[in-house]
Structure 1
């Protein structure tokens, strides 16, 4: 839309304000384009305009007509409202006196400022006579306007009577009286006819009188309504119990506007999907906000944590299953408050542990899970000493399983047998808790078919000695190993 726009800024305060000339001039030909825009400021910031705020504009035109209308919101946050003069209003040329108001649903009202502007009479409109028109906001104003119209009619009749009384000077009193009576009757008939019209001759709309939201329903007569409202004796003798309000306190009820505002508040009210999500949600946080595990602060006792998923460096917390490990461990804690038990599963790939706190509060220690991966071992071959060599494809090898058991297999040949002559040495981690002896199969070459054996010692420093052999003919033809022991 194209408008001949004019913007006036008003500061809403209690300082002395004189009616100002807004330096605005419209033409009687600015039909549908004469737009008054107001920017409201309070305390140096824009005055917000909400649904509970109504800008009202009163205008008194040069022909004596006056209107009281609602403005429209252009920018609620910046406090900008506007009003576009109608095609009938723009025809009332001359100086227009106006005043802007702000009304609130809670009953508060503000007078913003008085101002004036001009409607210039276009040349093409020189022969148009403006007709006074009144816009009424409510019933009481309508009643007052009708009374004013009746008073005006009486004034006109009085003036006519005075004029006709002057006719006594130029004609007979009887003739003048007859003319005066006829004029009075004609004026009264016109006034009565106009007052009796109920077809809205001026085409006043509900929106123009501020009743756009009022339903077209039959109302009680004003007198009947006032009489009934004024009857404070409860003529029907209705009790609170009869209307089902025996437990209702006599307190102020919310207005329709307040109810609608509350009903449309999506922050206070939740949807069915939100309620279902909340009902199925966690009673307390088990993870971080992103669903991940929570890092345990250094020095935390693992056995004091509530149910949840955690992680930490093993040697920086208390009661970790492997307190010497400097790797990251993952912990799953499950707490049963009814039986006062805590079940903790700890993981440091590929190792896993399980621990329980009993109902008596005692910790039962960590138990290691053995997995398929733990069953896979790595075989190593030792460095042979003092003339010993591997025997064919049956090489001497050693390994350690997940239970910490060292297994020694294979055969050697050709070396020196003796109590202080080592055949090879096992590395750290593969040595026994204490000195250990084993009896193994030896070669029977040179002794017929009689089985032969050897005696082997493994010291705590990992030294392996072939101390003796029952085959005195060929004692070092071959020596076999096939035994296990618990590593230190």
Structure 2
């Protein structure tokens, strides 16, 4: 994977620490490549995080979006953790305020440091405005976000109540109708009185038709009328039917209390942001309607699936990373045009793989994730016992090298009575044998040999001692398979000198799995 990586060093102590600018700048086009790496130290040494449940990272973006996420361990022994910003998070450009925490299995928590970094808006994204988001993964954080949203809603409601505080004093529709009827009657009487005077046209004054308080009266156009109706800053008389209260007996002008009750009905109304969110909602189904994963039909080629969350028995589908496994696997597929990423998780014996398909349609193969558990389960055997590792090797006879008690045996693979290591893991191993011998015959020609499953496997060293008392160190790097029984042997060849055997004072073995 290619990342735009940033290495931030934090020392954990109780001294006063100001929030620091991490001198980091990502771009809104750094899709799945913006990586924050934290190297943590305490008292001058790497912070131990092998027993940490997880690291936590809280980020507040410039547009108010908040994310509280888990980090991942990069180097448990070196105190290094990291987090890769998601494709959604990098769209929130501006200054990001953040704080890092570490939580341990025993309930202890550490606040590491506050810091900030920048996300620059790429030119291609200049016309895109991200919508504020909130992401939390525990109850306390969720409660805080809901409380903040509730406070905002109360403020909006208070503003609405202030706008409509004079609603009860607005003239009712019946009152307005009575005045209109009176004006119409006055106008009709005046018209009837002068209807016969065709030689002297008249104009009607505003006072004669009951409109003496209106200046420059003229017919309102439909545009004027529509603009007046939409004027929410100038409250209008509203009937119960107009606000959804038509089932109330003796309909009359709605009171402010009735209006407020209707206005707060969240079942009937949605906000502008909710409407935008619904209209922009994703239409492609990634799961079943219940939220469960989609079952893959037997015989389906995993590489042909569209984006979605799936499950199947591994040996029932084509191109699964473990085709012989008879257990349920989860398959997460994401596509981008012709490119595709597939993440596979075994559920009964937790292992995880990922594979990619490039733009040209070529599959890049399966790659397994190595966990901290995998790392700790590597073979390491070390014997170091002066009192129980001496023996005699006779000339011309292949003799098994005797090793004493183990000083380290991480996987319980060493049998001292047989001086034999039965490997639990396949892989590449580095072997170091230390032989200290006395009474070595002159002109000796000595071979040190590795046996696997009681058969000659590899000669490690050809030893030609120049003195009667000497030490030999032999090193072998070799691949072995799980279940191999590994032993080591000495074969002294001499030219008839006396003594005709080699007395080994002590023998030590170190066997470590490299990968």
Normalized against structure 1, the TM-score is what? 0.39
Question: For the pair shown, which has the larger CA radius of gyration, 1 or 2?
Answer: 1
Normalized against structure 2, the TM-score is what? 0.38
Greater strand fraction, Structure 1 or Structure 2: 2
